[in-house]
Structures are given as C-alpha cells and as structure tokens.
Amino acid sequence: MPTVVDCPTCGKKVEWTEKNKFRPFCSERCKQIDLGAWAEEKYAIPGAAPADPLDPLDDEPK
C-alpha cells in the first residue's frame, strides 16, 4: 500500500508514488501556488539577525 500524504497547499490526499510527478503536491497548480508563496517571501526560516559589521559593540562578548 503506497504512502498517502496531504497536499501542502490544498490538503487533498495524495499517494506518494513515482507516478505522481508533483509529489508532495496533488497537481501542477498547487506546486506553483507554493512556489509563488516562497517567491513572495510568505515563508521564512527563523534565525538570528546578522551582526552589523560597522557596530564595534558587536565584537564584545556577552
């Protein structure tokens, strides 16, 4: 029995098989919607703000 996952865009159940060329998405449309969201910076990977190289206080230990 193939693994079934939810499409990250619409939530539709999708079989995770090699014949599904859009996996984990259910369709080309859902894949493009997700790509557009990344391009519009709707998703972000959390992280610390970079240090300001011109700020001498950033060199001091905390």
Query: Letter for the amino acid at 54?
Result: L
Tokens of 5: 């996952």
Report how far residue 46's alpha carbon sits from residue 51's, in angstroms, rounded to the nearest whole number. 15
Provide the annotated binding site: 7, 10, 26, 30
Provide the annotated binding site for Zn(2+): 7, 10, 26, 30
Q: CB of 24 within 8 A of CB of 8?
A: yes
